[in-house]
A and B are shown apart, each in its own frame.
Chain A
Amino acid sequence: MNMPAEHLNKKLFDDDIEQVPNRDGFGEGLRKAAERDKRVVALCGDLTESTRMSVFLEAFPERFVQVGVAEQSMASVASGMAAMGKIPFMASYAMFSPGRNWEQIRTTICYNNANVKLVGSHAGVSVGPDGATHQALEDIALTRVLPNMTVVVPCDSIEAKKTTLAAAQHVGPLYIRLAREQTPVITTEDSPFEIGKVQIYLSPESGEKKLGIIACGTILHNALLAGKKLNDEGVGVSVMNLATIKPLDEEAILAFAKAHQVIVTVEEHQIAGGMGSAITELLSEKHPMRVVRVGVRDQFGQSGEPQELIKHYGMDADSIYEAAKKLI
C-alpha cells in the first residue's frame, strides 16, 4: 500500500519542485489516446486553448467538433456521437460543464449510459483573478450523485495524462476535474495509477499512526507538506491520494481509516457534497469515527492570486497543518 519513495517526484518537498498545470497532462493524454484509438473524438465549447484540447485539434482536426459557447448542446451532441460508436471527450470550464449543462449530462449521457468523457477544467478557487463566477466549487457534488458516472480528480499533470488514457478505455460516462494553475508535479511516469484505486503517498516512518489525511486534486501537495511537517514532529500522519471519488475504493479506505484515529479530508471544493462528504458517508455507515473536512465552507470564491485564495479559504499547507494539529 505504501508508495515507495522512488515512485514519487524526488523533489516532492523541495521549494524548486517542477510546476505544471494538470490540464497540460490532459492535452497530451488526449492526443495519445486518439493515436491509439481512432474512435476518440473531441468536442469543445470555445475554450480549445485553455482546456488544452488544442493539442488534439492540431493533431486530429478532422475528429474535432467546435460546438461554440453551447455547453448544453455539447453534452447531447457528445451523447449522439457515442451512440454511433465514437468515444467523445468534451471539454469546457467545470463551471459550465457540468455546471451549466447538468440536466443534459444526467439525461442524455448518464441515463443513456453513453460512453462520453467530460472534462471540466478551471475548477476550484485557484482559477484566481477571474473570480467566483468561474471558480467551480460544486462540480464533484454534481457529478458524483449521477448513476453510471465515474469521477476522477487527478493530482498533477502526469496523473491527468494517465487518467485521460485510462478514461478512453473505460466504458461509460466519466468526469475528469482539472485545474488552471501551475501546480507541483507530485507523481512520476512510474507511479502506479488505476481508476478506482487509491494510493498512499506518505506514511509515518515509525510509531503510531494517528492522523490519516485523504486528499484529491492538486491541493494534495499542500496535504503532503502538512503531513510531512507533522511527521517531522513525530505525530504519525499518513496521506492518501483519492483520485477516484466515484466509485470509492471502499476496502482500501476502510483499512486506512481503521489504521488511524482521526481522518482529515482535503479538497478544493465545497465541503458539502464533495469528496469529504463521500468519505463521511462511507465511514458513518461502515466504520464510524471522527472526520474533519478541509475545503470551502459554504462560500463563493473571489478574485485574487491563486495562492492568496487557497490561503484565504484555509487550504494552504499551514492551514491544513493547523487544522490537523488541533485534533492531536
Chain B
Amino acid sequence: MQYLSDEEVLALEKKANEIRQSVIEMLIAAGSGHTAGPLDMADVFTLLYFHVLHHRPNEPLWPDRDRLILSNGHICPVLYATLAHSGYFPKEELMTLRKFGTRLQGHPHREALPGLETTSGPLGSGLSQALGMALAERMENPYSSKYFYCLTGDGELDEGQIWEAFMHAGKEQLHNLIVIIDRNGIQIDGYTTDVMPLEPLAEKLSAFNWDVQEVDGHNFQMLNDAIGKAQAVYSQPSVIIAHTIPSRGVDVFERDFRWHGNPPGKGPEDRVKRDEQGEVALRKLRTLAGHITAPEHS
C-alpha cells in the first residue's frame, strides 16, 4: 500500500466532497433513496477508487482488476457517483438515478451498468459472493495479487447469511478478502444498539477467525494504513470496522437515524425545513462548511 502524502490526502478530501455533492444532487433529482450511508461512506469509496484499487474505468472488465463488491446495495448513490467521477460513465447520467429506463437502478444491477461487480439490495449476500470470487481466484492462481473488497453496512450484520460467510471465509483463510464495515450505528428503524445490538463486534469477528482492525472511517491516512495492513495479513481474511458518522459532511443531517432511508426534501424537519434541505446540504458541501479539513475552494 502506497503511503499518502499530505497533498494526496487533500486531493482525496476534495474528491470526496465532490462525490458527496453528486450524491445530494442525485437524491434530490430522484426524490427517493438513502442519504446517511452514501454520505458517510464517501471517504472510503474515494480512497478505494482513487488510490487503492487496481482498475481501468475505460476497460471495466479488465480481468486483472481488483473487485469491489457492495453488499449493502442501498448505498449505491455513492457507488454510482464514485464510478462516474472515476470515468466509468458520464457524470450527467447520475441525474437519472431511480428513473424509468435508467442504468442507475434503485439498487445496483450488475448487468445494467459498467463497473458493477454484482447485483445487491437484499442484505447479507455480498460477503458470500466476494468469498466465492476470492476462493475461485485462489483456486485458479494461488499467487494472484488481486484483492476482493467487500463493503457492508452494520445493520446488515443482523442477517444470518453474513455470519455463515464470516465463518466460511475464516475456515478458508482467504487472505485476498478484505471487508470494510460501515459502522455508522444506524439502520432504518433506529440506532443499531436499540434495533439489534452488535457489540462486542470486533471480538465476534475475531472469534470467527478474522483479522480485525477498527479505524476512523473519515481519516484517509488511517484507512489507508488499515487497508495496507489487511493486505499484508496472509493467514486470515481481514475486516476493517470503519467508524463513520451517519450523513457525514452535512452537519445538519449528521447522527440522526431518520436520514437512513430518506432523501433531502423528505428527511426529519428538526434541524432544517423540508423545502430547504437540498439547498442547505449543497451549500454546506460547496463551501466546505461541514467537517472537511481541506481549505475552501477559491
Partners in one complex: yes
Contact digits for A66-98, partner B, Cβ 8 Å, 1 yes 0 no: 011010111111111111111010000000000
Q: B133 near A81 (CB under 8 angstroms)? A: yes
- Give Cα distance in the complex from A77 to B152, angstroms: 16
Judge whether B137 is part of the interface by a CB distance below 8 angstroms.
yes
Judge whether A258 is part of the interface by a CB distance below 8 angstroms.
no
Distance in Å: Cβ of A178 to nearest Cβ of chain B: 23
Q: B133 near A84 (CB under 8 angstroms)? A: yes
Contact digits for A43-77, partner B, Cβ 8 Å, 1 yes 0 no: 00000000000000000001101011010111111
Q: Which of B135-174 contact A (CB under 8 A)?
A: 135-137, 139-140, 160-161, 164-165, 167-168
Specify which of A62, A75, A77 is in contact with B131 (CB 8 Å cutoff). Answer: A77
A108-B125 contact in complex given A67-B168, A73-B164, C-beta closer than 8 Å: yes
Judge whether B275 is part of the interface by a CB distance below 8 angstroms.
no
> A residues within 8 A CB of B69?
80
A79-B129 contact in complex given A62-B139, A107-B121, C-beta closer than 8 Å: yes
Interface residue count for B (Cβ, 8 Å)? 30
- Give Cα distance in the complex from A62 to B139, angstroms: 8
Distance in Å: Cβ of B157 to nearest Cβ of chain A: 14
- Give Cα distance in the complex from A74 to B168, angstroms: 10
Distance in Å: Cβ of B163 to nearest Cβ of chain A: 9
In the complex formed, the residue of B with least CB distance to A82 is: B132
In the complex formed, the residue of B with least CB distance to A113 is: B111
Interface residue count for A (Cβ, 8 Å)? 30
- Give Cα distance in the complex from A62 to B122, angstroms: 31
Judge whether B130 is part of the interface by a CB distance below 8 angstroms.
yes
Specify which of B110, B128, B137 is in contact with A73 (CB 8 Å cutoff). Answer: B128
Specify which of B118, B137, B161, B168 is in contact with A112 (CB 8 Å cutoff). Answer: B118
In the complex formed, the residue of B with least CB distance to A86 is: B136
Distance in Å: Cβ of A105 to nearest Cβ of chain B: 10
Q: A65 near B122 (CB under 8 angstroms)? A: no
Q: A76 near B129 (CB under 8 angstroms)? A: yes
Q: B130 near A73 (CB under 8 angstroms)? A: no
- Give Cα distance in the complex from A279 to B150, angstroms: 43
Distance in Å: Cβ of B256 to nearest Cβ of chain A: 30
In the complex formed, the residue of B with least CB distance to A106 is: B122
Q: A111 near B132 (CB under 8 angstroms)? A: no
In the complex formed, the residue of B with least CB distance to A83 is: B133
Judge whether A187 is part of the interface by a CB distance below 8 angstroms.
no
Q: A65 near B129 (CB under 8 angstroms)? A: no
In the complex formed, the residue of B with least CB distance to A107 is: B122
> A residues within 8 A CB of B139?
41, 62-63, 86
Specify which of B132, B160, B161 is in contact with A83 (CB 8 Å cutoff). Answer: B132
Q: A77 near B161 (CB under 8 angstroms)? A: no
- Give Cα distance in the complex from A82 to B133, angstroms: 8
> A residues within 8 A CB of B122?
103-104, 107
- Give Cα distance in the complex from A72 to B110, angstroms: 20
Q: B125 near A84 (CB under 8 angstroms)? A: no
Judge whether B119 is part of the interface by a CB distance below 8 angstroms.
yes
22 pairs from A and B in contact (CB 8 Å cutoff): A63-B139, A72-B128, A72-B164, A73-B165, A76-B125, A76-B126, A76-B129, A77-B135, A77-B168, A79-B118, A79-B128, A80-B134, A81-B132, A81-B133, A82-B132, A84-B140, A85-B140, A104-B125, A104-B128, A108-B118, A108-B128, A111-B119
The 5 A-B pairs of least Cβ separation, nearest first, read A80-B132, A76-B128, A73-B164, A84-B136, A80-B129
In the complex, besides A86-B136, A112-B111, 10 extra interface pairs with C-beta distance below 8 angstroms are: A68-B168, A72-B160, A76-B165, A78-B132, A81-B132, A84-B140, A108-B118, A108-B119, A108-B128, A111-B109
Residues of A within 8 A of B (CB): 41, 62-63, 65, 67-68, 70, 72-86, 88, 103-104, 107-108, 111-113
